[in-house]
Chain A
Amino acid sequence: MTPLAASADLALPSPRRSKLTWAAADSLAIARRNIVGMTRRPQLLAFVTVQPVLFVLMFRYVFGGSIHVPGASYTNYLMAGIFVTTVLFGAQNTAIGIAEDLHNGLIERFRSLVMARSAVLAGRVLADALRNMFVIVLMLGVGYLVGFRLHTNAAALAAASGVLLLFGFAISWVTALLGLAAKSAEAAGAAALPLTVLLTFPSSAFVLTRNLPGPLRAYADHQPLTATVNAIRPLLLGGPTASHATAAIIWCAGIIAVFAPLAVLRYRQAA
């Protein structure tokens, strides 16, 4: 049998790669682990696949008849809202996953390894981005089946996906912070829910904000989900995009600038 305790230099980090390359490799390893973990959990997999499909079908057929928007079919209007909302709902998994890792001792183990400390959060956010890409493709397919038609071109669709991924990336930092701060995985999920609901419903995702009562409309018109939806909608259906896209990017950049450092700080402190 090979001795388990060999000389220390076997274990020293290989000097062949730079610090940054190792950080990237570590983040990829963690991201892969998160993706594999997601595919092994039926309830999470359902959350990722069934929920967006249900959203498309429910809003299309339940509300589709009662909500009228000028200049577009509701199905077409709906898709941008569904995309952004689904990405937001999916980000709850980040909070839950990080809280689980923290409370079952996995993050403690990771901290005792030579791996880059940034990789736990970076790998999580990266896995979220991959999940979001999958979900976007899935929803486009389902949307197409229920009557959604792209009125622009492939470049605009790619731009819409880019804005969506940026929004997902920004929200992941918020929910990562929630996960790190929560006392348990359940608490993390519970904390992420109100955030999700407060961003989703008073917004331009499913309805025209101009029909909302005054203060609610003021909030709905000036919150990041509306900004993101308003940027994506013309990219799918046509219309002026520049100012909306700028607003969405500023919102996301602002969220990242505030919450990424907070999450990293919290991660360093979390014992």
Chain B
Amino acid sequence: MPDPAIVACGLVKRFGPVVALDGINLAVPAGSVLGLLGPNGAGKTTAVRILTTILKPDAGQASVLGLDVVRQAKNVRAVIGLAGQYAAVDENLTGRENLRLIGQLTHQPRSAIASRAEELLARFSLTGAAARPVRSYSGGMRRRLDLAAALVHRPPLLFLDEPTTGLDPSGRSDLWTVIGELVGDGTTVLLTTQYLEEADRLANRIVVIDCGRIIAEGTPSQLKASLGATIIEIHVADPADAQRGAANLQRIAPVAVLDGHRTLAVKVPDKGPAVQEVLRLLDVDAIVPESLAIREPTLDDVFLQLTGQHADSGPDAPAAPTAVGSGIDKGGAHDPAGRIS
């Protein structure tokens, strides 16, 4: 096994009475991608700030590429790249000027700064916009420039703090492709995200944190397996049908009855055969669904499963998945402690 690129041991950080990190341990092998998954305020950004030397931990230790993030902060900064939650580029400078500025500030050889900027602009499809002020860029272009800025000094270790938050699906997909290429080149990446799909797509291992603690870790497939990969929602006209269907389907997968006894939510391990099996069982009982929906588990499902609380209890938390999630938990085979929700 290669030497770990990131090692963290018992990291604690408090902001006044708030414990942002409550003893985090991490070990990220060189060349791999760790996804740090968690809701807003879980402590993801605080962890990134400590590992990138921006904050000092109150307790615990961390090193990146063998360098201590507190005692050897300056050396650490030479070998890391950070693309933060905001596209942290200067709006008034052009894309080219932004990259050259970072080249100067990372103390690159003067002769190499201009060519490195052009190389990155080309790589991130920004050559055409290179002479325009960033103010005129779209959100996706800003994020690409931000990522390019993090790469100017060719860091072998990259921290990406919610790299696609706020992007539309096509912008997100573009950025995923670029990050995938970086990983292919051998860059070690620590990525924070609120999106299970993103962690699934990019990460070799996922660490789920909540309230400053690690509450689960594993490969994406391990985490999804523990959740059930797919949720099938079946809507029926008659609540009696729902009851009969639930009793029958319970034999093959965890089932929850929701929505005034007219919706069944079945948690199945895969899409194809399981869907067929569910439909066959419904047919046996002569239950005709009004509609049927198949969806992937969301971060909310992960959190409900692991903590009994919704990932985001803020005002913009979607109501529908919440109801499904809690129902799943009541009927679920993985229900940790018989919670009442």
Contact = CB atoms under 8 A, between A and B. Distances in A.
Contact of B78 (A8, A30, A41, A104): A8
Contacts of B185: 3-5
Interface string B68-109: 000000110111101011111111110001000110111101
Interface of A: 1-8, 10-14, 22, 25-26, 29-30, 33, 36-37, 40-41, 104-106, 108-115, 119, 271
A44 to B, nearest CB: 9
Contacts of B78: 8, 11-13, 114
Nearest to B49: A271
A95 to B, nearest CB: 17
Contact of A112 (B77, B90, B154): B77
B156 A106 contact: no
Contact of B93 (A5, A33, A104): A33
A74 B182 CA distance: 67
Given A6-B156, A114-B107, 14 more contacts: A4-B151, A4-B154, A11-B79, A14-B109, A26-B104, A36-B97, A37-B92, A105-B84, A105-B87, A106-B90, A108-B54, A108-B84, A112-B54, A114-B153
B186 A5 contact: yes
B105 A115 contact: yes
Contacts of B32: none
B92 A41 contact: yes
Chain A binding site: helix, strand, loop or mixed by DSSP?
loop
11 contacts: A4-B151, A6-B156, A8-B79, A8-B156, A14-B107, A26-B105, A29-B104, A105-B86, A112-B54, A113-B102, A119-B105
Interface of B: 49, 52-55, 65, 74-75, 77-80, 82, 84-93, 97, 101-102, 104-107, 109, 119, 123, 133, 149, 151, 153-156, 181-182, 185-187
Given A40-B92, A106-B90, A112 B82 contact: yes
Cβ-closest 9 pairs across A and B = A105-B88, A105-B86, A37-B92, A5-B187, A115-B105, A109-B88, A112-B82, A11-B153, A40-B92
Contact of B107 (A5, A110, A115): A115
Contacts of B186: 3, 5
B52 A112 contact: yes
A11 B152 CA distance: 9
A30 B80 CA distance: 21
Contacts of B82: 108-109, 112
Contacts of A112: 52-54, 77, 80, 82
Contacts of B109: 14
B54 A111 contact: yes
B90 A4 contact: no
A263 B97 CA distance: 28
A108 B86 CA distance: 10
Contact of B101 (A2, A3, A33): A33
Given A4-B123, A106-B90, A11 B105 contact: no
Nearest to A109: B88
Which of A10, A11, A14, A271: most chain B Cβ within 10 A? A11
Contacts of A6: 154, 156
A1 B120 CA distance: 10
B119 A2 contact: yes
Contact of A106 (B79, B85, B89, B155): B89
Contacts of A40: 92-93, 133
Contacts of A105: 84-88
B78 to A, nearest CB: 5
B106 A114 contact: yes
A22 B106 CA distance: 10
Contacts of B84: 105, 108-109
A98 to B, nearest CB: 13
A106 B88 contact: yes
Contacts of B86: 104-105
Contacts of A29: 101, 104-105
Contacts of B77: 112-114
A12 B153 CA distance: 9
